[in-house]
């Protein structure tokens, strides 16, 4: 395929592709919740459920607000007056709440983010904002892990990025195999964190080494 005719790759930070069907109205969404209540076997007209469809739609607006946000915007403002600082920057224990795209059940956990600056840094709250944007979309933990890491790498262009996620999945703890107390650990290592075992080990030590298997 000639270079000119290749489709432009979509940034991993971008909002996901718009669905083919138009977005339903709020009223249609509320009617869908009412249908689910009927399907579950309850009466949506009784006092306790009368306002439930509206409440659920409002909750969805909050839980899935990440579809209306671009994480790149939070990383756009950087600082270059760092007095030559080029060592590791780590933000650990960023709590997040997401929902699995298979069952729409909650995923609750913590994210640890580290990067090696390359002449510029970003405000630490912006790293937490990036996590929040991706968490407030339907997710698979492995995908969310990679999205956070690659977004930071693509925008800040540091020497390396490391992201580790520890989370519990209620699609596993409250249904199916019903295994409470089980947590899932995933990691994405880019740049120096991937190629330099000492750098990777230092990062894992700082965040508490959630799993020795990550060191590889």
Tens digits of per-residue pLDDT, 31-88? Answer: 999 999 999 999 999 999 999 999 999 999 999 999 999 999 999 998 887 777 889 9
Q: Contacts for 43-52 with beta carbons within 8 Å, 24 or more apart? A: none
3 assigned to some structural domain: no
Whether 150 is a known active-site residue: answer: no
7 assigned to some structural domain: no
Whether 13 is a known active-site residue: answer: no
3-class SS of residue 45: coil
176 shares a domain with 107:
yes
Whether 171 is a known active-site residue: answer: yes
6 assigned to some structural domain: no
The pLDDT of residue 91 is above 80 = yes
The pLDDT of residue 9 is above 90 = no
98 assigned to some structural domain: yes
Token representation of residue 92: 């650990």
162 assigned to some structural domain: yes
Of 63, 85, 119, the residue that ends a domain is 63
Query: Distance of alpha carbon 115 from its chain centroid, rounded?
Result: 17
Identify the weakest region by mean pLDDT among 22-36, 98-112, 168-182, 192-206: 168-182
| Choice among 27, 28, 61, 102 that is catalytic | 102
Whether 151 is a known active-site residue: answer: no
| Choice among 139, 141, 147, 153 that is catalytic | 141
Q: How confident is the model at residue 13 (pLDDT cuts 50, 70, 90)?
A: low
85 shares a domain with 47:
no
Say how far apart CA 216 and CA 123 lie, in whole Å: 31
20 assigned to some structural domain: no
132 shares a domain with 59:
no
3-class SS of residue 72: helix
182 shares a domain with 149:
yes
Q: How confident is the model at residue 12 (pLDDT cuts 50, 70, 90)?
A: low
Q: How many domains does the chain have?
A: 2
Expressed as residue numbers, the domain containing 31 is 26-63
**What confidence tens digit (pLDDT) does each residue in 24-34 have?**
999 999 999 99
Torsion of CA 97, 70, 124, 145, to 10 degrees: 50
- Per-residue pLDDT, 83: 78
- Beta-sheet strand order (sheet of 106-116): 138-139, 89-100, 106-116, 160-169, 184-191
The better pLDDT of the pair 14, 9 is held by 14
| Choice among 69, 72, 73, 103 that is catalytic | 103
83 shares a domain with 114:
yes
144 shares a domain with 81:
yes
118 shares a domain with 93:
yes
Identify the weakest region by mean pLDDT among 17-26, 95-104, 114-123, 124-133: 17-26
- Per-residue pLDDT, 3: 43
123 shares a domain with 38:
no
Identity of the highest mean pLDDT range in 58-62, 119-123, 181-185: 58-62
CB contact at 8 A, 147 and 131: no
185 shares a domain with 122:
yes
71 assigned to some structural domain: no
CA distances 209 to 55, 84, 215, Å, are 40, 28, 9
Whether 100 is a known active-site residue: answer: yes
| Choice among 100, 112, 139, 147 that is catalytic | 100
- Per-residue pLDDT, 20: 80
Say how far apart CA 128 and CA 96 lie, in whole Å: 9
Of 16, 36, 63, the residue that ends a domain is 63
- Per-residue pLDDT, 80: 84
Q: Read off the pLDDT of each residue in 131-157 and give the average, rounded to a whole number.
A: 97
CB contact at 8 A, 192 and 168: no
Of 38, 63, 88, the residue that ends a domain is 63
**194 sits in which H/E element:** helix 192-195
85 shares a domain with 35:
no
42 shares a domain with 142:
no
Say how far apart CA 163 and CA 97 lie, in whole Å: 16
- Per-residue pLDDT, 1: 43
9 assigned to some structural domain: no
The pLDDT of residue 212 is above 70 = no
pTM of the model: 0.87
Percent of the chain with pLDDT over 70: 88
207 shares a domain with 143:
yes
Percent of the chain with pLDDT over 90: 77
The pLDDT of residue 2 is above 80 = no
């Amino acid at each position: 395929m000639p270079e000119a005719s290749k489709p432009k790759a979509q940034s991993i930070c971008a909002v996901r592709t718009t669905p083919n069907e138009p977005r339903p109205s709020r009223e249609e969404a509320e009617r869908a919740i009412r249908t689910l209540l009927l399907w579950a076997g309850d009466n949506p007209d009784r006092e306790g459920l009368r306002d439930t469809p509206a409440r659920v739609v409002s909750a969805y607006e909050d839980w899935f607000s990440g579809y209306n946000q671009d994480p790149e915007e939070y990383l756009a403002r950087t600082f270059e007056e760092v007095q030559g600082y080029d060592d590791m920057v780590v933000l650990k224990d960023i709590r997040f709440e997401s929902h699995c795209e298979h069952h729409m059940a909650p995923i609750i956990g913590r994210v640890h983010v580290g990067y090696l600056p390359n002449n510029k840094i970003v405000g630490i709250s912006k790293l937490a904002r990036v996590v929040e944007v991706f968490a407030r979309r339907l997710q698979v933990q492995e995908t969310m892990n990679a999205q956070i890491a690659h977004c930071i790498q693509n925008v800040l262009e540091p020497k390396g990025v490391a992201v580790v996620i520890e989370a519990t999945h209620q699609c596993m703890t409250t249904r199916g195999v019903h295994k409470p107390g089980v947590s899932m650990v995933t990691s994405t290592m880019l740049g120096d964190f991937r190629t330099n075992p000492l750098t990777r080990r230092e990062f894992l030590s700082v965040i508490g080494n959630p799993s020795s298997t990550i060191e590889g």
